[in-house]
Structure 1
Amino acid sequence: MAATAIPRNVLYAQSGGVTAVINASACGLIEAARAASPRIGKVFAARNGILGALAEDLIDTSAESDTDIARLRHTPGGAFGSCRYKLKSIDEQRAQYERLIEVFRAHDIGYFFYNGGGDSMDTANKVSQIAERLGYPLICVGVPKTVDNDLPLTDCCPGFGSVAKYVATSMREAGFDVASMARTSTKIFVLEVMGRHAGWITAACGLAAQSAAEPPHLLLFPEVAFDEVRFLARVKDCVERYDYCTIAVSEGLRDSAGRFLSDMGTRDAFGHAQLGGVGQIVAQLIKDRLGYKYHWALADYLQRAARHVASRTDVEQAYALGRAAVDLALAGRNAVMPVIERLSDSPYRWQVGVAALKDVANIERKMPADFISADGFGITDACRAYLAPLIEGEDFPPFRDGLPDYVRLQNLAVPRRLPDFAL
């Protein structure tokens, strides 16, 4: 569908777990949309993702100054609110999809940008399909975001590089601490990181070690079935060699039967198993079997919120993809997503490409086999070459009174024009 010459409005929404740089994508997108005036009208944001779109709870970003929009580039979290809410198939939830089109029509939305992961790309793709079925002129563009780095067809995902930098930094710093205390106190340190099915964040912890003697000594990936006997033997050997052992473990660690070690027996809004506490499970196993004193830590929200130690590469890519999304929309590219294409490792060079949403939605990219060491407990040189550029560079936020100075937007509501809609 060719872009229209009549200015139409934008709706932007954030989805899923937020990151240290999702707002950098929002910044790039809003700045590009403002620069495209008069081809684009107002830029609205849905409060709390697709839920805000369904509820007609929209934010008028034109009320925000250029200065405050620019400050989004170094502010973590989701400036407009996010959600975990998965729309099912169009046939199953046609009323919800039709409601979205009603909201778009009421506010003359011609461009819909959904900033999220695989489930969000699926939603954006379905919205483009229902718009076409109903004859409503709409261009849908996905904007990639996920700390898990598991979207296909892009070299990396905005949000991952900063998490990678944070966990590698944390592991290196904790390693110095444990090494100091190992002789008379703690022998074991376990860091649990995010990653349900893909071990990218766990692999990033491995960047902290420059030799086999340095932390982390062992990595536990979701892609490698947990073998208790082999694992405990390696822990014992490590302690005997170095006097301590440090371990990074993915929340999605599974046993040989494919069961999550930390499955809590509940499901989230996307139908995924609720996980938590695998770090403590692994640490307690070591204590029970080998008798070593341990400490364990759960990186949890800290890893994805740590804007103070964000990767400059990550920030630049997140911002660039936000701007690229607007360029694609204005070029009439529907149901697509801008991606990162790697041109070389050293020096690291990249460019923005494009992928179809149908080829991205609901597809998880796991760690390649050649990125995991033969014994299953480490990363290879190929993995290190891939990861290293993604954590390069610093992009510190401004500080005030000793703390990061982040922006909180006004987020003024757009007057509603439609009746309430029950979710």
Structure 2
Amino acid sequence: MEDFMIGNVIVGQSGGPTSVINSSLVGVYKTARDRGAKKVYGMLHGIKGLLDGQYVDLSEKIKTDIDIDLLKRTPSSYLGSCRYKLPEVNEDKAVYEKIFKTLEDLEVKYFFYIGGNDSMDTIKKLSDYANLVNSDIKFMGVPKTIDNDLAVTDHTPGYGSAAKYIAATMKEIIRDGLVYDYPTITIVEIMGRNAGWLTAAAALAKGEDCEGVDMIYLPEKVFDIDKFMARVKSLSEQGRSMVIAISEGIKVADGRYVFELSDHVEFVDAFGHKQLAGSAKFLANKIGSELGIKTRAIELSTMQRCAAHMTSRTDITEAFNVGGAAVKAAFEGATGQVVVLKRISDDPYMCITETHDVHDIANVEKKIPLEWITDDDYVTDDLIHYIRPLIQAELSPIMVDGLPRHLNVNF
């Protein structure tokens, strides 16, 4: 092993958690240890925690194969997360000097960040600064997001399990929603700011044992409230009960989110993202007051990203693989790269890992192609066929006293 490959590793997690993000962490940790890394550190609460001097030696926390198996099945971010936006170098160079001083003190040569779009912005800025100051530290992005909106990669680890949970939950909601002999309406609000990949997964509920959802509304298309109300009225007059899936980020023609049409408290994070919630409640109230139909609003909220009891084995395996692939690439000299998944076959489904320049991925949002969204408020078979392989197979939790056992870092 050449001299530039001798050094310590540090890994962090950022952005919204998923049910399989810790499988990527295990992929980084185990591969780095197997390839001879002296130490593998974990940032507590991502890059923000590193700036605050918060990190742990993961070998003191992950000691046995049982720990590894538990961690792969533990939802949310084991190391904690953050939504911290690094400034531009010309705005605050001192932040970068502090980060690189900490990395040098820890003798870190390889930096891995597990996250989505905003996290890849962090990798881009750190790798650019490393080039600027001639640092030999390697910076690699490990993809993660239930939103599936990361560019270049076929899909992102975390999405398959969230899609599996959504499809399964919609089947249960549909069974519950159709029990009465009079029309009722259930509106289910699913995560998705500007991309409707998660909400589209509701279409998987339809099958020989399930009628499926009646309508699907995605943020890729303008939401027409008048058309929506007319369709609901028409179907209800046929004595139909309905289950409707909507993305939290659906917008009306003037650019406002639907939830902004009602009174709401606005919260904006460091990246300028508004906290979205309340569109289903607004529409349910409107239907109830104008049409007099019993309507229920359900927000899946954080449940869709932390349901580790409903993980896809395909997803958890790919999450592990992208972590390991990032380490392999970095140890071979790559930097400023993101591991991506490339689908090479649909039948049978097969994906391989590659690396790609972070500058083509950071701050680029992948949306559902419009040709995969129908004019009658649904999605095409092509989109369903794209999603279905990602939800396949299961990885059962390790149960103790009737409940899933998780691994806690105990900060």
TM tier, smaller? over 0.9
Residue number in structure 1 paired with 2:214: 217
Residue number in structure 2 paired with 1:366: 367
C-alpha distance in structure 1 between counterparts of 2:286 and 2:97, whole Å = 52
Q: CA deviation at 1:317?
A: 0.7
Tell me, what secondary structure is at the counterpart of 1:120? helix
| Identical residues among aligned pairs (%) | 39
C-alpha distance in structure 2 between counterparts of 1:253 and 1:5, whole Å = 49
Change (3 A) 1:316 1:212: closer
C-alpha distance in structure 2 between counterparts of 1:289 and 1:223, whole Å = 27
Instruction: Decide which moves more: 93-102 or 237-246.
Output: 237-246
Deviation by residue 1:380-402 (Cα, 9 ceiling, x = unmatched): 01101101111111111111111
TM-score by length of 1: 0.92
Tell me, what secondary structure is at the counterpart of 1:266? coil
CA contact (8 A) 2:5 2:331 kept: no
Indicate whether 1:226 and 2:227 are aligned.
no
C-alpha distance in structure 1 between counterparts of 2:207 and 2:283, whole Å = 24
Residue number in structure 2 paired with 1:70: 69
C-alpha distance in structure 1 between counterparts of 2:232 and 2:222, whole Å = 17
Change (3 A) 1:360 1:225: same
Residue number in structure 2 paired with 1:91: 90
Q: CA deviation at 1:48?
A: 0.5
Q: CA deviation at 1:267?
A: 1.1
Indicate whether 1:321 and 2:322 are aligned.
yes
CA contact (8 A) 1:3 1:332 kept: no
Residue number in structure 2 paired with 1:350: 351
5+ residue gaps, structure 2, are none
Residue number in structure 2 paired with 1:419: none
Tell me, what secondary structure is at the counterpart of 1:275? coil
C-alpha distance in structure 1 between counterparts of 2:140 and 2:202, whole Å = 32
C-alpha distance in structure 2 between counterparts of 1:7 and 1:262, whole Å = 52
5+ residue gaps, structure 1, are 412-423
C-alpha distance in structure 1 between counterparts of 2:68 and 2:90, whole Å = 38
C-alpha distance in structure 1 between counterparts of 2:210 and 2:132, whole Å = 60
Residue number in structure 2 paired with 1:243: 240
Q: CA deviation at 1:197?
A: 0.3
Count of paired positions: 405
Q: CA deviation at 1:291?
A: 1.2
CA contact (8 A) 1:3 1:329 kept: no
Instruction: Decide which moves more: 112-121 or 126-135.
Output: 126-135
C-alpha distance in structure 2 between counterparts of 1:118 and 1:88, whole Å = 16
Residue number in structure 2 paired with 1:17: 16
Which runs of at least 4 in structure 1 moved beyond 4 Å after TM superposition? none
Q: CA deviation at 1:7?
A: 2.0
Change (3 A) 1:282 1:215: farther
Q: CA deviation at 1:403?
A: 0.9
C-alpha distance in structure 2 between counterparts of 1:275 and 1:153, whole Å = 26
Q: CA deviation at 1:288?
A: 2.0
TM-score by length of 2: 0.95
1:201-212 to 2 correspondence within 5 Å? Answer: 201-210=198-207
C-alpha distance in structure 2 between counterparts of 1:279 and 1:209, whole Å = 21
Residue number in structure 2 paired with 1:404: 404
Residue number in structure 2 paired with 1:200: 197
Residue number in structure 2 paired with 1:160: 159
Indicate whether 1:297 and 2:298 are aligned.
yes
Change (3 A) 1:78 1:153: same
For the aligned residues, what is the CA RMSD? Answer: 1.7
Deviation by residue 1:267-308 (Cα, 9 ceiling, x = unmatched): 112111222111101111211222110111111111100000
1:283-294 to 2 correspondence within 5 Å? Answer: 283-294=284-295
Deviation by residue 1:67-121 (Cα, 9 ceiling, x = unmatched): 2133211110111110111112121121111111011111111000010011110
C-alpha distance in structure 2 between counterparts of 1:209 and 1:287, whole Å = 26
Residue number in structure 1 paired with 2:381: 381
Deviation by residue 1:12-70 (Cα, 9 ceiling, x = unmatched): 00000100000000011101011011xx2200011001111111211110112032133
Indicate whether 1:61 and 2:62 are aligned.
no
Tell me, what secondary structure is at the counterpart of 1:141? strand
Tell me, what secondary structure is at the counterpart of 2:290? helix
CA contact (8 A) 1:370 1:382 kept: no
C-alpha distance in structure 2 between counterparts of 1:262 and 1:268, whole Å = 17
CA contact (8 A) 1:217 1:238 kept: no
Deviation by residue 1:362-421 (Cα, 9 ceiling, x = unmatched): 00001111211123x11101101101111111111111111111112355xxxxxxxxxx
C-alpha distance in structure 1 between counterparts of 2:49 and 2:250, whole Å = 34
Deviation by residue 1:310-336 (Cα, 9 ceiling, x = unmatched): 111111110110111100111101111
Q: Specify the code of the residue in structure 2 equivalent to 1:370.
A: E
Q: Specify the code of the residue in structure 1 equivalent to 2:396.
A: F
C-alpha distance in structure 1 between counterparts of 2:225 and 2:293, whole Å = 16
C-alpha distance in structure 2 between counterparts of 1:60 and 1:242, whole Å = 61
Q: CA deviation at 1:212?
A: 13
Q: Specify the code of the residue in structure 2 equivalent to 1:390.
A: L
CA contact (8 A) 1:168 1:204 kept: yes
CA contact (8 A) 2:70 2:405 kept: no
Residue number in structure 1 paired with 2:274: 273
Deviation by residue 1:104-146 (Cα, 9 ceiling, x = unmatched): 1111110000100111101111111112222221100000001
Residue number in structure 2 paired with 1:421: none
